[in-house]
Amino acid sequence: MAEPIVALRGVAKDYESGAGVVRALREVDLTILPGEFVAIVGASGSGKSTLMNILGCLDRPTRGTYELAGVTVGDRGNDGRAIIRNRLIGFIFQGFNLLPRTTALENCELPLQYRGFSRAQRRKRALAALAQVGLEDRVHHTPNQLSGGQQQRVAIARALVTDPPLLLADEPTGNLDTRTSLEVLALLQKLNRERGITIALVTHEHDIAACASRVITVRDGRIVSDVHETSPLDAAKALSELPLAHVQASEGADKDPADEHRRRQTAPVPFGIYPMMVLGALVGALLGVLYGAIVLGEQVGWIVLIAAVLAEAWFGAPWGSPCSWASCQRR
Question: Domain-by-domain residue ranges, the chain?
Answer: 6-260, 267-330
Report pLDDT for 244: 65
Q: Is the pLDDT score of 293 beyond 80?
A: no
- 84-98, 218-232, 260-274: segment of lowest average pLDDT: 260-274
* Mean pLDDT within 10-20: 89
> Could you tell me the fold of the domain covering 6-260?
Rossmann fold (3.40.50)
Q: What is the pLDDT of residues 64-83, one digit of tens each?
A: 999 999 899 877 888 888 88
What percent of the chain lies above the pLDDT cut of 70?
Answer: 84
Q: Is the pLDDT score of 242 beyond 60?
A: yes
pTM score over 0.75: no
How many C-beta atoms lie closer than 10 Å to residue 54's C-beta? 24
Residue 15 is which amino acid?
A: Y
**For residues 97 and 158, is the Cβ–Cβ distance under 8 A?**
no
Report pLDDT for 223: 96
Q: Is the pLDDT score of 307 beyond 80?
A: no
Q: Is the pLDDT score of 219 beyond 90?
A: yes
**For residues 221 and 25, is the Cβ–Cβ distance under 8 A?**
yes
* Mean pLDDT within 183-210: 93
**For residues 235 and 42, is the Cβ–Cβ distance under 8 A?**
no
- 143-147, 214-218, 254-258: segment of lowest average pLDDT: 254-258
Report pLDDT for 304: 72
Q: Is the pLDDT score of 108 beyond 60?
A: yes
* Average predicted confidence (pLDDT) for the chain: 84
